[in-house]
Amino acid sequence: MKAIELTAAKLDAFRATTIATLEPQRGEVLIRQRAASLNFVDVAVASGNYRVPGFPLIPVADGAGDIVAPGGGRYGFRRRRSRRCPCQAALDRRSAPA
């Protein structure tokens, strides 16, 4: 899948990349992102003013998209339902290539 990743705590360290599609685990969903914002938290991460576990990472604090694969469990999520998602992908190392 296509992604924008941040490779270091610098505003000029964003780059377009392709990563493997992940399989959602129990309690997770895979979302096809349709819209994302670059907001205060993302800028703080990119400028080194917000600590993250490491780089590279995919910064997105807010977005909207469609659920394409539920990971299991009973959470009320179904495929093809549009959702606004307050995401924490920037803090999840699974969301970025090693």
pLDDT digits 0-9 by tens, 77-93:
555 555 555 554 433 44
User: Looking at residue 74, what is its pLDDT?
Assistant: 60
| pLDDT tens digit sequence for 10-33 | 999 999 999 888 888 887 778 888
| Predicted pLDDT at 18 | 92
* Paired residues of 93 in beta bridges: none
What is the reported pTM?
0.66
Helices and strands, counts by H and E, the chain? 1, 5
Kindly report, residue by residue over 36-79, the tens digit of the pLDDT: 888 888 899 999 999 888 899 888 777 788 888 887 766 555 55
Edge to edge, the sheet with strand 63-70 lists 29-36, 63-70, 82-85
> Could you tell me the domains of the chain?
2-95 (3.90.180.10)
Distance CA 83, CA 80 (A): 9
Alpha-carbon distance of 38 to 78, in angstroms, equals 27
Q: Is the peptide bond before 97 cis (omega within 30 degrees of 0)?
A: no
